[in-house]
Structure 1
Amino acid sequence: MLLIDTDKKNAVLNSMVKYLDSDREEIIAANKKDLDAFDRDDQALYDRLVVNDAKVDDMIRAVKEVLAQEDPVGQVISKGTLDNGLNITNKTAPFGTIMIIYESRPDVTIEAAVLAFKANNKILLKGGKEAHHSNEALVECWHKALADNGLDKDWIQYLKMDRATTQEFLRNPDQPLDLIVPRGGERLIEFVKQHAKCAVLVSGRGNNFAYVAPDADMEKVIPVLVNAKTDKISGCNALDKILVDRNHPQLDDVLLKIEGALKEKGVHIVAGEEVLDTLSATDKIENDEVWYEEFLAMKAVISTVDGLDNAISFINKYSGGHSNIILTENTDDAMKFMEGVDSAAVYHNASTRFTDGGQMGVGAELAISTDKLHHRGPLGLKQLVTNKYYVFGSGQVRK
């Protein structure tokens, strides 16, 4: 693969900033076509689909952030000379071609492409059919920016495929494919894993939990839970399940305060069997599958759990491995929870809504990885490279 020098890559990004600004009316008009055709029954998906002036400004900001970051390609990881005289340097290198499959969010067309391109990867963008007009307008901006700088538009490709065509492409891609990142629910992830012939890096579901310990400070608990649940219900970092320790000295009072604060914000409460007599909620958990479910809605489960160890086990069984919280004033318990819960991000007395590249200081992100290889958490610019060993010799042979 051609290695593009940093100045040229940055020139493309500068051109992209220009086109996002100059073409914003066309981008928003294209998005309106998608919005007009969309069924608003799925509010979370609709929210993700919207592109307005503020969203275009966010896209421009994302490109500028990556523009300002150091080129991640060719960075020396380690270097040394062995006893036999071999000089070995391990350096960062592009993956090659990355495919991302995503629904509804046109801003991914900007963030994924800017990160992949700056890391010298080609990217194949497989957006959802509900955002076709928006994505095509944004990819047109990319193609103009590439052309302005003498680069082929194949660096950033938009794949307009239905499910059957996508399945066939995964099985028999018409070009080298090195990494696939599916951003979506369990069905999408399983679909990609079943059919892909290359590495798949999972950007998993949310279904995030909060554990409220017996010593939790309610002055922190309420604002954290309300923010985590209601700040953005369409985010994979939104809260879905709340477990209050049944050993809490004011258990009933705490349960009612949490329920009241969430209901005041319009959250529909589903109660665990053991708290039905305490809460005003009449909906209860009907089956075990509810514990696995990511809601992406103004909906939350409130239940109880017996102690820290059981909370850790319960969360590890049911959560999506994305972001989970402990609310406690005991730092030892907090650390035990954070070390024991198996997720990309663990929080002590803070909202899960911070699991985001920009909020965590990474900048623009391709996705939040819930995989353990090759990276877990926000996939920023530095995470979109692999590595390569350069071995310099003078005729050495292995004996």
Structure 2
Amino acid sequence: MNTLLSIETRNAVLLKMAALLDSERAAIIKINKADLEAYNGEDISMYDRLKADDSKVNEMIASVKHLAAQRDPVGIERFSFKHDNGMQVYNKTASFGTVLIIYESRPDVTVEAAGIAFKSGNKILLKGGKESLRSNLKIVELWHQALKAHGASTDWVEYLQFNRTETQAFLENPTQKVDLIVPRGGERLIAFVKEHATCPVIISGRGNNFVYVHKEADQQIALDVIINAKTTKISACNALDKVLIDKNLPNKEAFIKTLISKLKESKIKILGDEAISKFDDVEAIQSDDIWYKEFLDYKIAMAEIDSNEDTIAMINKYSGGHSSSIITKNNEVAKVFMENVDTAAVYHNASTRFTDGGQLGLGGELAISTDKLHQRGPIGLEHLVTNKWYVHGNGQIR
């Protein structure tokens, strides 16, 4: 078992990692190009996530520097109690131990997720996708250099070069202790991990996010939010897939026409219910199953809806439990929506694209959980810990 490293050592390793990412920038980009060239490019969102260009390397450096500047998430007192018999009782945060991160295509996860887990005092096992193997191995090599530079064992960050069969075998019967598994990727990956894992799994589920344009919406805000949430990053789990428009929206027809033309400018394919499919450039929805789907593509589904209550019911039935937004000037209506929609993040007059650890003030994230235990939404440093009871006595017996 690895003994917990002091916070000074953990921070020094993170800062060394930042320096190495910078000095090895050209090598990382070059190796990543080989991964990109080897990828068959069938999935545009996968290709986008696989790329490690100059700006992506800058993000990696910023994330580890930011982690080094954060307070130690381990050993924070959450509760204290003085027993009648004189015992002093504390509950404090503690690291999980070993965290396994299973992910697809994203070399930045090898930096950011490993960094968050490491700063939280955990040993990290990384199982990346085959499409990013070269990039990942290069980054892990840098982690090992950073650890060695501060006298820490390279065991703290380990890369598992397993194929699917070996991964399944490891999940079902780990050859070393694993305390928590975090899968980052599509629904197939998450289902695979859930099916075979023998320890707790943080579920980072599908997005399938909704925006509701209430009849009292500021229509310019509605247009801005929908275009931003849909078009800025197709591959993001916080991207928008569904738009519900209040039947009683004033100048509804003009609003819908403007929205369609703006979506068309960004080459978005539009699917509509009976009311929306009457407009030009909209394809009729063939089956209600479409409302369950996360697109991760240049595609959006739109419908008219009767009320806030109907909207809440529809989102709670179909969404992935990730993010939803209401556009309205009516604070009371927004409050009802936000309290009753069952998603990890709820927005009023803002884009769903902010469901992200960095954007919500956590500095970074390991994943975005659509589970309710033990943390919901972005999983940051503060959440990658468990807790432990510390009880100090002087001979008390019960």
Equivalent position SS for 1:243: strand
**1:282 Cα offset (Å):** 4.3
Does the 8 A contact of 2:125 with 2:158 survive in 1? yes
Cα deviation, residue 271, structure 1: 1.2
Shift of 1:329: 0.6
Deviation at 1:257, TM superposition (A): 2.0
Paired with 1:214 and 1:203, the residues of 2 have a C-alpha distance of: 33
Letter in 2 for 1:72: P
Kept in 2, the 8 Å contact 1:322–1:344? The answer is yes
Residue identity in the other structure for 2:264: K
TM-score of the aligned structures, taking structure 2 as reference length: 0.97
Rounded to whole Å, the distance in 2 between the matches of 1:284 and 1:188 is 31
Say whether the 8 Å CA contact 2:276–2:282 is kept in structure 1: no
- 2:184 is matched with 183
2:214 counterpart of 1:213? yes
Aligned residue in 2 for 1:45? 46
- 1:389 matched to 2:389? The reply is yes
Instruction: Name 1:112's counterpart in structure 2.
Output: 113
Partner Cα separation in structure 1 for residue 178 and residue 347 of structure 2: 36
- Name the residue aligned to 1:127: 128
- Separation of aligned partners in 1, 2:247 and 2:135: 49
Partners of 2:358 and 2:364 within 8 A in 1: yes
Is the CA contact (8 Å cut-off) linking 2:271 and 2:277 kept in structure 1?
A: no
Trace 1:335-350 onto structure 2 (pairs within 5 A): 335-350=335-350
Please list the CA deviations of residues 115-144 of structure 1 after superposition, one character each: whole Å capped at 9, or x if unmatched.
Answer: 111111011111111111110111110011
Structure 2 residue identity aligned to 1:328: T
Structure 1 SS opposite 2:175: coil
The residue number in structure 1 matching 2:101 is 100
Q: Deviations along 1:264-301, whole A, 9 cap, x unmatched?
A: 22111111133222x21342222222111111111101
Which stretch has the larger CA shift, 38-47 or 358-367? 38-47
Q: State whether residues 368 and 378 of structure 1, in contact with CA within 8 Å, keep that contact through their aligned partners in structure 2.
A: yes
3-state secondary structure, aligned to 1:273: coil
The aligned runs of 1:8-47 (5 Å cut-off) are: 8-47=9-48
Contact between 1:34 and 1:133, CA under 8 Å: does it hold in 2? yes
Give, in whole Å, the separation in 2 of the partners of 1:282 and 1:234.
22
Q: Does 1:57 align with 2:58?
A: yes
Match of 1:199, SS state, is coil
State the Cα distance separating 1:57 from its structure 2 match.
Answer: 1.0
1:368 maps to which residue? Answer: 368
For 1:221-236, what aligned pairs fall within 5 Å after superposition? 221-236=222-237
Normalising by structure 1, we get a TM-score of 0.97
Q: What are structure 1's unaligned runs of at least 5 residues?
A: none
User: SS of 1:21's equivalent?
Assistant: helix
Alignment identity in percent?
55
What is the Cα deviation at residue 314 of structure 1?
0.2
Quote the residue 2:308 is aligned against. 308
Quote how far apart the aligned CAs of 1:76 are.
1.1
* 2:322 and 2:343 in contact (8 A); partners too: yes
Whole-Å separation in 1 of the counterparts to 2:230 and 2:62: 26
State how far apart, in whole Å, the 2-side matches of 1:163 and 1:288 are. Answer: 33
How many residues in Structure 1 have an aligned counterpart in Structure 2?
397
Give yes or no for contact 1:271–1:281 (8 Å, CA) kept in 2. Answer: no
Is the 8 Å Cα contact of residues 119 and 385 (structure 1) preserved in structure 2? yes
Shift of 1:58: 0.8
Match of 2:319 in 1: 319
Match of 2:137, as an amino acid? E
Inter-partner Cα distance in structure 2 for 1:296 and 1:87: 52
In 2: Cα distance, 1:282 partner to 1:64 partner: 46
Deviations 1:1-21 (A, max 9, x none): 411111111111121112111
CA RMSD of superposed structures (Å)? 1.1
Amino acid at match of 2:140: V
For residues 281 and 263 of structure 1, the distance between their equivalents in structure 2, rounded to whole angstroms, comes to: 8
In the alignment, is residue 197 of structure 1 matched against residue 201 of structure 2?
Answer: no
Tell me the residue number matched to 1:85. Answer: 86
List gaps (5 residues or longer) in structure 2.
none
